[in-house]
Amino acid sequence: MPTTPLRWPCWLAALAAIGAILLSPVLCASADDSWATPLATKLGVTLEKSFDSTGPDAWDPKKHPLVFVTTEGPGYGGLLSGVTLPGIAIVDADSREVVTSQHYDVLAWGWKNVFEDHGVGVSPDGKWIYLPTGEGTFGTMGFGRLLIINARTLKLDKVLHTNGNPHHAKVLHTPDGRHLVMSYGWGQPLFVLDPAQDNKVVGGLDFNDIGIDTYLYFASPDGQEIIAGGRFRDSAARKDTFGNVMVRIGTKDWRVIGTIPIQESTPVWVAFSADNKYAYFTGAVTSRVFKYDRKADKIVGTARAGVEGPYGAHFGWNDKDLYVIGKGEESHNRGKVLGFIDTALMEKSERPVDQFVTNCIRGDHGILHPDPDANELWISCNSSFEVVVFDLDQKQVTKRIPMPNGGSSHSGAFVKYDGWSGDVLSDQNGLHGSALKKKRELLGIRDVGSNVQGAPGPGGKM
């Protein structure tokens, strides 16, 4: 736990929590009312703690100009790592060596337990790391937390309190030039933070606005919309009911702009083609992938996922071969394989092309390495406590990166640093910024969206 000086006027809150403080080296600040926005209040997000996160550099970006930021947490579902605190690990994306790791002693604040970090995000400028966690488990309400970490010092800067336990965090570039971070969780609707405005909530909508619970959210490459999968809260319904919808949300005013009927009770992931034309949805119960034509606004093809209980779905650099992470979602939840689909075949055949063994136990997300010559998918392994590097050219795992303290890895983001000016090039939502631009150049895609400028966003020194 990083130690930070007390910041006025937080001493009152610090006194009120003196018992917890005695156990913790951290002196924290209480919520700042000026941070709250009407949207934050509506979406159940409050600023619980804030800290002075300045201090000595925790790592050297000159030595490691391209890094992979991932989680290192306790694990879940009966496969526990021994790590007890939420944490992050930073890996050099070229040498594949662990640069550093940091854990955050939330138990010292009196938390009863730690909910596994199920994702991690980095602000578009590389300045902040977002680590979802909380207390309780998947359905717990009222104890969610999103830790906001200074990427330079790896000290906590803020703790946001959320109603539901947060799940993921990732970059969102909107067509009007905003460079944001979106997050959501179990029972926690979408909320969007603006790193340039002290990470205040500037976007999002609740389940009443949507009309249905939703699960995961993914932004289109043009940034114009977010597609979320409908989620039945009742697990029995998730097994027995096949009619569901994907929900389209406009990023201009955070309204539902449409729904897409889908014959899948538990849609999970959304992967967009780089040309903005198609989106691909994974279905955990049917173990299928659905191809959605964005212009025609309908599903135009399906294929078997090549795995049982698919979760993430990811393109490599050719934007044609889709790799489906066989997590075993809504099934055995011990998946260790990768499905391979030729998307060009989806309107002609339901067959996947192949399946590859990774032995990445309960792998969930793959993050595409931003170097096209690498053409690697870095897959986080929740329960074999490692990141595996799957070479999409050789179609095999070429490197296993054990987590430094044996913790659980869950998602990740590739960030390029020039000094301390960062640029998120790839996360669970696919490529961003200059990497997406490069992909479009290689593929000859000229009809680019408004969010694919080479500039990373607000940039600036930390």
Partner 1 sequence: MFGIVDPSEKLSMHINLSSDVALSGLRTIATVFIAIVAFPTCAADQVDMAMVEQGRQIFETVAGVGCKACHGPFAEGKVGPSNRGVNEATIREALAKIGPMQFLREQLAEEDIKRVAAYTGWMGRHMLVKSLLKRGRFIPDAISVYPGTPVQLVIENTGSEPATLAADGIPVAASTIAARDTASIVWTAPETEGKSTIACSDCKIKDGLLAIEVTKTAKPYIPPPQPKVVAKP
Which residue in 1, 17, 141, 353 binds partner 1 (CB under 8 A)?
353
Answer yes or no: are the C-beta atoms of 169 and 128 closer than 8 Å: no
Least Å distance between CB 280 and partner 1?
Answer: 17
Q: Tell me how crowded residue 57 is: count the other CB atoms within 10 A of its CB.
A: 11
Instruction: Tell me the Ramachandran region of residue 406: left when phi exceeds 0, alpha when psi lies from -120 to 50, beta otherwise.
Output: left
Interaction residues for partner 1, span 298-327 (CB under 8 A): 317-318, 320
366: nearest Cα among 80, 116, 356, 99:
356
What number of chain residues touch partner 1 (CB under 8 A)?
A: 24
Determine, following the binding rule CB under 8 A, whether residue 349 of this chain makes contact with partner 1. Answer: yes
- Report d(CA 446, CA 440) in Å as an integer: 7
Q: Please state, in angstroms and rounded to a whole number, the distance separating the CA atoms of residues 297 and 314.
A: 21
- In the complex with partner 1, the residue whose CB is nearer, 157 or 371, is 371
The binding track of 14-53 with respect to partner 1, each residue x by CB under 8 A or -, is ----------------------------------------
Q: What is the DSSP letter of 335?
A: -
Residue among 354, 418, 420, 453 that touches partner 1 (CB under 8 A):
354
Of residues 78 and 444, the one with the C-beta less far from partner 1 = 444
Q: Is 352 in the site for partner 1 (CB under 8 A)?
A: yes
- Check whether the bond before 352 is cis (ω within 30° of 0): no
Q: What are the Cα distances from residue 383, in Å, to 113, 209, 410, 427? A: 19, 36, 9, 20
Q: Does 447 bind partner 1 (CB under 8 A)?
A: no
Q: How far is the CB of 374 from partner 1 (least distance, A)?
A: 8
Rounded to the nearest whole angstrom, what is the least distance from the CB of residue 345 to partner 1 in the complex?
5
Asked whether 102 and 87 are in contact (CB, 8 A), the reply is yes
344 binds partner 1 (CB under 8 A): yes
Please identify, among the stretches 5-13, 156-164, 222-230, 435-443, the one whose residues bind partner 1 according to the rule CB under 8 A: 435-443
Identify which of 337, 318, 315 has the alpha carbon closest to the alpha carbon of residue 328: 337
Segment interacting with partner 1 (CB under 8 A) among 71-79, 269-277, 351-359, 429-437: 351-359
Binding part of the chain for partner 1, among 86-94, 150-158, 325-333, 391-399 by CB under 8 A, reads 391-399
Nearest to partner 1 of 7, 304 (CB atom): 304
Minimum Å gap between C-beta 94 and partner 1 is 11
User: Which lies closer to partner 1 via its Cβ, residue 141 or residue 353?
Assistant: 353
> 152 near 415, Cβ under 8 Å?
no
Tokens at residue 52, please?
Answer: 């002075």
Q: Single out the residue of 55, 65, 175, 372 in contact with partner 1 (rule: CB under 8 A).
A: 372
Helix (H), strand (E), coil (C) string for 239-281: HHCCEEEEEEEECCCCEEEEEEEEECCCEEEEEECCCCCEEEE
* Residue 91 beta carbon to partner 1: minimum distance, rounded to whole angstroms: 19
Q: Which is nearer to partner 1, 267 or 306 (CB)?
A: 306
Among the listed ranges 21-29, 247-255, 261-269, 344-352, the one in contact with partner 1 (CB under 8 A) is 344-352
- Is 357 a binder of partner 1 (CB under 8 A)? no
Choose among 441, 368, 454: nearest CA to 411: 368
Rounded Cα–Cα distance for residues 218 and 372 (Å): 22
Q: Which residues make up the interface to partner 1 (CB under 8 A)? A: 317-318, 320, 342, 344-345, 348-349, 351-354, 372-375, 391, 393-394, 438, 441-444
